[in-house]
Structure 1
């Protein structure tokens, strides 16, 4: 019998297991992951940005977790000597009509208590000489890291604390009773006093498996990237973002210097035909059918059909993708870009067609389900883990009689 079972070996699940041991050092913790390695999906395909939290509504989980997570992630990397760089970023207005949106974003940064400043064209040129912009916001706290390395260190900490990590173990059934939970997996049956669902792209399915019906469904959006060829990496010093479209819930194509020195350009955001589909040709009938039958998707599509078409055009036309990048860096040419691995974002969508914009946590009797953990989940992962454990500790009937 385990005290806790965490489903999902991404950075949120790993951070949660670590937080459990920090609060309950004598607990028996099991983490199950269906892949044969940790951080295989959203975490392993992450752009590697340590976000500041400037975009998020003040008072939201996102804003709080991002600001606190930015600091705790930096401290974690320093403590365990994981390479990272707090290089800062610029959010760039490329035309005069974007200036009011830039001012709104600056005010949001101030409300979120961030170190931000507005800069003009000359100072922007000093920071990013090749960028086209009329003004920008400089965000000092943003940085870069390899989240797969962070996840590997988290796994090591969990094992050293006495935790069991079972890879290649897919959850196939969950039965929750008054005093325990039985978990059927591809590698046998486990019992636990409490279950934490951090299954990411499959979090809604695990929630349903545990007997909880929700008003959300995970809809996968694939983000496609290019990389700058090595001889053109000098065009980007650190992190360059556009002013986001306030009507569309994605940040737009941007430039990201990676820890290894590579520079990613992207992503777009197109509907994925498979929850774990990283290639344009990937298709899963079950995943696709669920989306097509879900009324919330069609309500979303009717609202954002214009933006959706533009994203799809960028997917099939490199010239369209390049044109978007040239708004920020006019020197970029098609021959400067080579295809890079894509990522998939697990977006929770409600039946009314609205995207769940914040972290979405559903409590059960002996379980807790993280049904939406969008960006900045990697940045905020350590803080999310602490919050999940805090919510568990707030239910005394779960811990009073426990052995730990």
Structure 2
């Protein structure tokens, strides 16, 4: 088969892939047997192998999940047991050992996850695009999809720049995933709700404040992990992200507002149920976003030496969160399709880590679903 990749932006990895924390997740948090658990463990191995093969800088610095109070110890033990069920080697360490390993971190107990790493996912994406081209495929940027028409023998995709007809379509559209499913007439019961994750970069004097990635113990009543300290491949440290409702699918600034996106969210019953269910925590996140002092306090729980002047501006990211009509936040990966299309409907973190297992899963699904004729190829359709 010949393959063509259509990218909406003028460059690759402009959104979720290039705006995440750069962590190669190990698979600690995810329910045993879920797609997330399976794909994350396999994906960490695949990502490290890919980085080694193509000389992409990475580091397996390990992660410490730190309990800062007695009320978190039991949850920490649950995470330790879950990581073992997912096939990971982890270690419980006490306060003294935590202090020895991380002198600037305060905690009562921690789980050490040695397999966690960091990488630049933009560089991985660029290398994948190069490999596509070398294999005879095409990656075309600046092609925002405007319409999709599926026929009995082909799929026609209309973009800003050209119209493409192909035998099959795989859609990995992130925050636009639900809109592409609707273009294809796929009967799905979800909408994408964007949450902005805001980061700060620590001042250069703190480039070596930690040796590992430092994570809090997640609250099972809340949908996101919480603010953590992340060493980056560039040699600096970031703190974040929080999780603030974004008023647009690409609303990276607090002042950004997209009328269409907000109108769609408000009209969807599932979104209104989510707001009611998480109103208090959502309000707290909003205040943490507005107030740097409140944001700093989240970091000082386990890194008390940080000061307000240490928080420097850094790029934000958007998490594309699928929400069901009943208000359920869909946490696992969701992949659905029609006769000639496959859609990655929900791919939250650790989707970057899991990219290659997701790809294998899609290919295996496609092989059983589609009949690949020898003359399968892309047919450009001239613009009217």
TM-score, structure 2 as length reference:
0.97
- Check if 1:398 corresponds to 2:368: no
The Cα offsets for residues 105-163 of structure 1, whole Å up to 9 and x where unpaired, read as 10100100101110011111122111110000000110000000000100100011011
Mapped contact 1:31–1:166 kept (Cα < 8 A): yes
Q: 5 Å matches for 1:166-315?
A: 166-315=140-289
Distance 1:34 1:105 in 2: 38
Q: Give how far 1:180 is off.
A: 0.7
- Check if 1:156 corresponds to 2:139: no
- Check if 1:39 corresponds to 2:13: yes
2:207 counterpart SS class: helix
Give the paired residue count: 377
1:37 counterpart SS class: coil
Aligned match of 1:56 in 23, 30, 42? Answer: 30
Aligned match of 2:55 in 76, 81, 86? Answer: 81
Distance 1:126 1:178 in 2: 65
Q: 5 Å matches for 1:82-161?
A: 82-161=56-135
2:17 counterpart SS class: coil
Q: Give how far 1:356 is off.
A: 0.6
Aligned match of 2:355 in 381, 390, 404? Answer: 381
The Cα offsets for residues 207-260 of structure 1, whole Å up to 9 and x where unpaired, read as 101111310000000001111100122322220000001011100000000001
Structure-2 change in CA distance of 1:340 and 1:403 (3 Å): closer
Structure 1 residue ranges, 4+ long, deviating more than 6 angstroms after superposition: none
2:168 counterpart SS class: strand
1:173 counterpart SS class: strand
Q: Give how far 1:398 is off.
A: 2.4
Distance 1:267 1:64 in 2: 24
TM-score, structure 1 as length reference:
0.92
Q: Give how far 1:331 is off.
A: 0.9
Q: Which runs of 5 or more structure 2 residues have no equivalent in the other structure?
A: 378-384
Aligned match of 2:321 in 336, 344, 347? Answer: 347
2:16 counterpart SS class: coil
Alignment RMSD = 1.0
Distance 1:305 1:115 in 2: 37
Q: Give how far 1:401 is off.
A: 5.5
Could you say which residue in structure 1 is the equivalent of 2:3?
29
Q: Which runs of 5 or more structure 1 residues have no equivalent in the other structure?
A: 1-26
Mapped contact 2:174–2:345 kept (Cα < 8 A): yes
